Structure 1
Amino acid sequence: MKGIANLLQTCIDNKSLLLGKVLHAYILRTNLLTNTFLCNRLIELYSKCNDPTYAHRTFDNTPQKDIYSWNAVLSFYCKTGNLTFARKVFEQMPERNVVSWNNLISLMLKNGHQEKALDVYKLMVLEGFLPTHITFASVLSACGSVFDLQLGKRCHGLVIKIGLDKNIFVCNGLLSVYAKCGVMREAVQIFADIDEPNEVTFTSMMGGLGRIDGVVEALEMFRMMSRKGVRIDSVSLSAVLSVCAKGGEYDEFGCYESGDRLLRNVVLGEQIHGLAFKLGFEHDLYLGNSLLDMYAKNGIMKSAEMVFHTLGKPSVVSWNIMIAGYGQKGNSGKAIECFQRMQFSGFKPDEVTYINMLAACIKGGDVETARQMFDNMSCPSVISWNAIISGYSQNENHREAIDLFREMQFQSVKPDRTTVTVILGSCAGMAFLEGGKQVHAALQKAALHTDNYVAGGLIGMYSKCGKIERAEHIFSSMPELDIVCWNSMIAGLTLNSLNREAFMLFKQMRQGRMLPTEFSYATVLSCCTKLSSLFQGRQVHSQIVKDGYESDVFVGTALVDMYCKCGDIDGAWKHFDMMPVRNIVTWNEMIHGYAQNGYGDEAVHLYEDMIASGAKPDAVTFIAVLTACSHSGLVDLGFRIFNSMKSEHGIDPELDHYTCIIDCLSRAGHFHDAELLMEKMPYRDDPIVWEVVLSSCRVHGNVSLAQQAAQELFRLDPESSTPYVLLANIYSSLGRWDDVRVIRELMSEKQIVKDPGYSWTEDKEQDTCLFVG
């Protein structure tokens, strides 16, 4: 019998099915089937040779099954991935050992059922089985996949208790859990205690450091890996490249968050690219896709295209990365072209392809094409629904976003937290309070209203609909507040002109040790601006420098705006001049600041510097620079800039632009030119234009034009007191008191009441201590 067992083992090792069947026949003929050990070897043979029929038949015909028999057939079903039969066998087992549990946990993990695998593990421990290093390798992998840090920590305690804390597989699993959950202090401690880290150890560390943007630290880890002689494979190189891909995030203005960071990450990525080529991985598809991703996310599409063309056989993932890269740059045309080439090359788009296409079209402003893409999807997931709904919401087509949300529910697609937050934004954009209330009620029913992300959307919706008390109630009812909720509440108070309350809430947030974000600082600077409080604005500026946000373009622009509107033009220029990155809004704020503070020449020079720098002016830029020309009497220059709008920059003048240039002409006494322009422009019947003319007539004593302007205003805006007051002032300045009396009698007769004036003072002694730490 020993000889037969040895022969069966040889058949198993060599996968010799035919010889194994001959031995099986011999065992049947010699009545050796009662030997459970031989039956178990036969089940193992058929399992190894992928013969399910004979494996199960042999198991059924085994007269005396032991735990090894059950484990053999269970192992077979686990190997084939048949979860249904594996669970059935597992439940029928008269007894189980740790191997049985390990097989089922491993199978569930392979089938993507991480949560169920963890449930099986908990039941295993509850029934008194002691996990092995194989158990922990699977369970810790599942914990990392679902970010279950608490269970990972409990596993860590058990690992130490049973003495597996030096096993490399277990240590790598623990390190991976902590790294994926962003708890790098514990990950570093585990790494330091490993005597001989392998490539998995280093790859996990690099991945974890990448998640917390530790680019330099991840690269140092890679250098250490190389120095220790640990084998560098395509997976470890891909891990470094994924870290380098972290630098290409765009802000809401389409600018990179940090130019230095982008440059650093691209240079490091190019170095890894060179090393990959040197080590002979240039044809590795997995690594090739990582290179594509690194270049695409950093916006270097020419390099991405070069890598793509060198891939021997690109995969769907490769095409998806390219489409996402074009989409990130807002180049929807290139994304569509890539999508068409993908299909022409015989690749079938998957859901990621469509999501990337939706994002590309939406970012490029082509919502119509995005909708066509969406309508062609047979069964869009919630992510796809979110993408198209967000597209309409971002383009302020809130009605269509809400209609799609309703259609989504008719299609029985369950909304997630992203969906409801976007819809709350659309309800706010339409001031659709009733719709927002309905969403709120549904959220309470689904117990989602306490989710911080959703709560932030609710606070924003009620604030924008003027129901600040409801917003405050939601804010105060939250069991735990995150920075999104704080920011939403501060912004809501500011939106409702409760700037002092917003400022005090910001102070309260800092006292609670909640770290402000760029949005927090931009919002509180807006409060200082509206309160005309330079004193408090300077305090906020000091804290911004301390927290390291001074170089952020979003915060920097808010600082420029605050200094300009509080009258400290030198402070505004000082900060503007030192900003490493500026966007169109930053330029506009500084130009407008000069204009409002009477520095017309400086505003025009800055406008010219902006054009020379390659920045493209927008409609707001021209309002700012034309205002500067108007306030400083730069008539010829203003007229030249006005005429250049369409001819040089392709921008059609709007009402505000005409108002600025007419104001410029009228202030300088060029009433004839102003009248000629008013006859040609499409906004002749707008009251603001005539108010500008009437105001300038007072300065120059042009009574006839003033009377004409006043008559137009009486017709266009009969309830306004402005034309009466301005015309009366003109008459009084010329000593025409009878005419003044007539105007006042007319106001009395028509019950026109003059708006009262007011003054503003700042109390520097109040609320001076705003920050903690």
Structure 2
Amino acid sequence: MAAVLSSVPPQLSTATHRHLPSFRRRDRNTFHLYSPSPPSATANAAINTSSIEHGIQESLSLLDLMQSESISPDPSLLCSILKRCADARSLRLGRIAHEKAVLAGLHTDPFVGNSLLLLYSRCGFLSTARKLFDEMPSRNVVSWTTAISMYHHAGLPHEAINLYRLMCGGAAFDNSVVKPNCFTYTTVLNCCASVKDFELGAKVHRQIVDDGLQNDKFIIVALIDMYTKCGKVCDARKVFDKIPELSIEASTAMIEGYSGNGQPKEAVDVMRMVLRSGPVAEMAISLGFTAMIRPFLMEMALRHGQEIHAHIIKFGHKPENKHLSALMNLYERCDKMAIAYRVFKELEVKEFGLWRRLLSGFVRNGLYAEALMVYAEMTTLDYGMSLFVVIEALNACVGMRGLKEGRQIHGTLLKVENLMGSTSLTVLSELYTCCGKHEEALKVSNLNVNIKNFIPRVTR
């Protein structure tokens, strides 16, 4: 048994290989959906991925055992393995599962085909996924929706819309018309919002009503978003007013729609409606005060942000970190630095972007000593080595004629090469000049000129 579980996958014939996509080079349409993570997060992700892949390996070994004993695997087992490969973005294990599906003759099964489509689209191989889709013997609504979603998530809304038209028109493949479901409609409406295609969006809305799906909560949000993105705020409000039960998601979409179309008063009216609506007000705290606050970073920002903040305090809610971050951003932008700092101190996790906002807010408001205090804290957290942070700290030194502090930062510039830029040296020269240290200012100015005139040598 142990030997079987650790066995190498069987060699495939030439005929079998014809059913598998070639990966000698990357698809031209490969895309990546990740961003850099801190080292600890990367390590945790690697451990989790390793654990998940180990479980998938065990399932694949079970398939080896079944095939060695001439037992045909059930399509649902292959679908489960392929879905886990897709969730883990594991192309290597997914391709092994694909090979086993071909060996078992299950690659033409519609459910297995949909799982394969999901795998390659999740892994970013759009061309491969589309080839599989085009070659599927039959396509159901899941097949179409997966392919449409693939293009939408890849930032290719026009391709997604074209595929939707084929789906509804029956103008391709076997000329059969497949009826969209809620997920299909939601995805297509999001694409219409992206390209501001009001005509198609309105047509899709009529189809939704004909199918009796107009009260689906995801479709409602997508409709409001589509209409507001197309500048049809009145149509969005008609959808909002017909909602059987008020939800925070729909309310947030309507608030952001009004805000994005330059109608802050109407956005405030919806916000107050949410705050008065009992259970929905509770949901506003848990799901989205960040989104509720964001639209008011404008002329009426402070008053309405304070209204939301007062609501949090009055009803004894314990806001999450993201809600406090939104409030801190609000107060900083409105130059209410004392309140911003008080909210900042309540944060359990203080991200780099919030430190930057606090620092620049203090400098902008002439609170130079407070700015340098924040800078000192940032240096203890290894946040002080950013060029932006150093420049803001030097601006604080200029504002308070802080020669001693400025010289300390000058020492940091000399130690860290990537901080020695034209802007930081210009501010440093200004500091020495305003403190009457003209000789030091001249030295810094000359160094700045040398940096500007430096031309890197190109070696062949």
TM-score of Structure 1 vs Structure 2, range by shorter chain: 0.5 to 0.7
Contact 1:425 1:461 in 2 (8 A): yes
Q: Which has the higher contact order (CA 8 A, sep 6+)?
A: 2
Equivalence for 2:253: 488
1:118-129 matches, within 5 Å, as none
Are residues 1:470 and 2:238 paired? no
Contact 1:382 1:413 in 2 (8 A): yes
2:289 to 507, 521, 529: 521
Equivalence for 2:182: 417
Deviation at 1:372, TM superposition (A): 3.1
Asked which structure has the greater CA Rg, the reply is: 1
Deviation at 1:498, TM superposition (A): 3.6
Deviations 1:690-714 (A, max 9, x none): xxxxxxxxxxxxxxxxxxxxxxxxx
Equivalence for 2:134: 375
Deviation at 1:459, TM superposition (A): 0.8
Equivalence for 2:320: 550
User: What is the CA–CA distance in structure 2 between the aligned matches of 1:639 and 1:423, rounded to whole Å?
Assistant: 55
Equivalence for 1:429: 194
Equivalence for 1:536: 307
Contact 1:358 1:374 in 2 (8 A): yes
Equivalence for 1:401: 160
Task: Give the aligned residue type for 2:92.
Answer: K
Deviation at 1:496, TM superposition (A): 2.7
Residues 344 and 448 (structure 1), Cα distance of their counterparts in 2 relative to 1, 3 Å cut: closer
Task: Give the aligned residue type for 1:317.
Answer: S
Deviation at 1:394, TM superposition (A): 2.2
Contact 2:198 2:227 in 1 (8 A): yes
User: What is the CA–CA distance in structure 2 between the aligned matches of 1:429 and 1:408, rounded to whole Å?
Assistant: 20
Equivalence for 1:82: none
1:644-723 matches, within 5 Å, as 663-668=423-428, 672=449, 675-676=452-453
Contact 1:587 1:610 in 2 (8 A): no
Residues 477 and 339 (structure 1), Cα distance of their counterparts in 2 relative to 1, 3 Å cut: same
Are residues 1:318 and 2:77 paired? yes
Residues 672 and 300 (structure 1), Cα distance of their counterparts in 2 relative to 1, 3 Å cut: same
Are residues 1:339 and 2:116 paired? no
User: What is the CA–CA distance in structure 1 between the aligned matches of 2:233 and 2:157, rounded to whole Å?
Assistant: 22
Residues 402 and 570 (structure 1), Cα distance of their counterparts in 2 relative to 1, 3 Å cut: same
Equivalence for 2:341: 570
Contact 2:56 2:85 in 1 (8 A): no
Residues 542 and 359 (structure 1), Cα distance of their counterparts in 2 relative to 1, 3 Å cut: farther
Equivalence for 1:630: 391
Equivalence for 1:301: 52
Residues 371 and 490 (structure 1), Cα distance of their counterparts in 2 relative to 1, 3 Å cut: same
Deviation at 1:385, TM superposition (A): 1.6
Contact 1:541 1:559 in 2 (8 A): no
1:27-66 matches, within 5 Å, as none
User: What is the CA–CA distance in structure 1 between the aligned matches of 2:328 and 2:50, rounded to whole Å?
Assistant: 29
User: What is the CA–CA distance in structure 1 between the aligned matches of 2:417 and 2:223, rounded to whole Å?
Assistant: 43
Deviation at 1:640, TM superposition (A): 8.6
Residues 588 and 392 (structure 1), Cα distance of their counterparts in 2 relative to 1, 3 Å cut: farther
Equivalence for 2:405: none
Deviations 1:518-540 (A, max 9, x none): 54322112145441456335335
User: What is the CA–CA distance in structure 2 between the aligned matches of 1:607 and 1:366, rounded to whole Å?
Assistant: 43
User: What is the CA–CA distance in structure 2 between the aligned matches of 1:607 and 1:409, rounded to whole Å?
Assistant: 59
Deviation at 1:631, TM superposition (A): 2.1
User: What is the CA–CA distance in structure 2 between the aligned matches of 1:445 and 1:436, rounded to whole Å?
Assistant: 14
Contact 1:591 1:607 in 2 (8 A): no
Any unmatched runs of 5+ in structure 1?
1-251, 264-295, 612-620, 645-659, 681-773
Task: Give the aligned residue type for 1:550.
Answer: E
Contact 1:320 1:356 in 2 (8 A): yes
Contact 1:572 1:590 in 2 (8 A): no
1:459 to 224, 227, 238: 224
Contact 1:639 1:661 in 2 (8 A): no
Report the secondary structure of 1:375's partner residue. helix
Instruction: Please provide the CA RMSD for this pair.
Output: 4.3
Are residues 1:507 and 2:265 paired? no
Matched residue pairs, number?
354
Contact 1:490 1:505 in 2 (8 A): yes
Task: Give the aligned residue type for 1:628.
Answer: V
Residues 638 and 512 (structure 1), Cα distance of their counterparts in 2 relative to 1, 3 Å cut: farther
Residues 450 and 297 (structure 1), Cα distance of their counterparts in 2 relative to 1, 3 Å cut: farther
1:163-182 matches, within 5 Å, as none
